[in-house]
Amino acid sequence: MRPHPSLLPAFALISFLSPLAAQSVSLQQRPGVAMVKPQAWSKDEQATVLEFQAVSNHTGYYQFRTAKTPAHQVPSAKVVTLIFFPESPADIALAPQREALQKTIDDFVAAGKRFPSAARPLGQAVAPLKSDAEKFDAGNIKAGGQWMSRSIYFQQKAGALADLLRPEILASPKIKDFDLSANQYFIGLKDLASSEPSVRAVIVGIQSLYDSMVRKQDRGELLRQLNAGGLTFEQAAELVKRLKSLQPQEDAAANLFVQSWDAATGKASQLTAQIIAVQGQFEASVPDASSAPVISAELFAAIGKMADAVRQYRSGSPPVAIQVPLQTADAMVALADNLPLLDKRIKARELLDAKAIMDPLLRQAGLIGPKTSLALAATQKKVNGDVDKFLILRNEAKMLADGDKIEEALKKYEQAYAIVADKEVATQIEALKKQ
């Protein structure tokens, strides 16, 4: 017996068994109806309905369990077809599932028209499916046998996918190597969004997380470059500009750096202007190229204020790339502290001490300006020349004294002492005078 074309299975809910194909016992614990003819030679239209709870096929006959008997046998030749009642699907969420549901409903309606005597039980059997269709069409979703609103269902599905995707994003060591668009969970979210627009909010959240991780990686690289040093102010400023475009408020380190940069650049501008002004005063204090700078009370006070501003600036740990002429400021402080002592040593003819003071000052004078540098160089040249004369005379005096030429040695020592008031030479003079 060939099944009627309009009764092909849908959801595997409508099935047909042919008596000729049933050669061994097969039990079906499923309710349904059998269309049974009065005689094997009767027409199909004469078939009546037999409701059953289970059926098994045997060689030459079917055995039905019905409400009245547990083993009602019918020759296979009399059975036109078997129609198993459908079960309500556990899941109806997507358009293809709704379409399959409608196919089953349509098949049962067609079966009821073909077999009017079976219309009542077939109608009762398909009623739950029609109810499912109405609920789905009203905006609900069936999942695991439970009905819920469409938005809740898709949000739950999307939430589950997002919960699987977030750890992968957060655990990625190099987020830029993580291909979000090719990730199976992200693809699943996009598929859900095609059926439920509210899922797009979840996608936006995931994309936002991914983008924030990319920004975090970029900020880390920029901070590494900025803190490494070796940048010009222009190079650092360009990196900071990029850092500010990456939402630095998202992490403490970047936010602190930007705040420090902004605060320091303002202070640096003021401090630089102050240093340059004092530098101009310092250069102006040089009377001529052969004389050391004269630190007036006014200049000393200006240097003191500048030194306080420098200490305060440094205490804020400003970014290393912000350029302030701090070395120039340090040089002016050093010269202001040591020039009076240098002048005192020169006037006292303590030129060896003066030389020890002057040598490092000459290097720092070059940071202040050409006049200061030339003046210190001229002073150093004179001191060094006098020291050289002193050393020659002292050495000659020592050799003469060693040769018992006392008068000549005494004269040389006195000439040396006239240049440098050296204690050792003074001691030698006293000793020679007693001989």
Check residue 12 and give left, alpha or beta (phi > 0: left; psi -120 to 50: alpha): left
* Encoded tokens for 46: 């004469």
Contact 176, 215 (CB under 8 A): no
Residues 6 or more apart in contact with residue 90 via CB below 8 angstroms: 142, 143, 144, 145
User: Which tokens belong to 51?
Assistant: 């409701």
Check if the beta carbon of residue 122 is closer than 8 Å to that of residue 108.
yes
85-114 as b/e: b if 16+ CB within 10 A = bbeebeebbeeebbebbbbbbebbbbbbeb
pLDDT at 413: 84
The structure tokens listed for 13 are 């809910």
Q: How far is CA 60 from CA 38, 54, 67, 80, 111, in A?
A: 16, 18, 23, 14, 25
Residue 363: its pLDDT value, please? 86
Can you give the pLDDT of all 435 residues of the chain as single tens digits?
Answer: 333 333 333 333 344 433 333 334 578 899 999 999 999 999 988 999 999 999 999 999 999 999 999 999 999 999 999 999 999 999 998 889 999 999 999 999 999 999 999 999 999 999 999 999 999 999 899 989 999 988 888 888 999 999 999 999 999 988 989 999 999 999 999 998 988 888 999 999 999 999 999 999 999 999 999 888 778 888 888 999 999 999 999 999 999 889 888 888 888 889 999 999 999 999 888 887 667 777 888 999 999 999 999 999 888 888 777 878 899 999 999 999 998 888 888 888 888 888 888 888 888 888 999 988 888 888 888 888 989 998 999 999 899 888 888 888 889 888 988 988 889 989 988 888 887
Specify the pTM. 0.51
Which helix (H) or strand (E) segment holds residue 9: the answer is none
- Give the Cα-Cα-Cα angle 249, 254, 259 (nearest 5 degrees): 80
How far, in Å, are 15, 50, 87 from residue 31 at the CA level?
Answer: 11, 11, 10
pLDDT value for 21: 35
Best CA proximity match to 15, nearest among 66, 60, 52, 69: 52
| Exposure string for 292-308, b = 16+ CB within 10 A, e = fewer | bbebeeebeebbeebbe
Q: Report the C-alpha gap between 51 and 377 in whole angstroms.
A: 122
pLDDT reported for residue 69: 93
> According to the model, what pLDDT value does residue 266 have?
84
Question: What pLDDT sits at residue 10?
Answer: 34
As a dihedral over the C-alpha atoms of residue 329, residue 331, residue 332, residue 334, rounded to 10 degrees, the angle is 120
Q: 3-state DSSP call for residue 63? A: strand
List C-alpha distances in Å: 96 to 101, 248, 311. 9, 47, 75
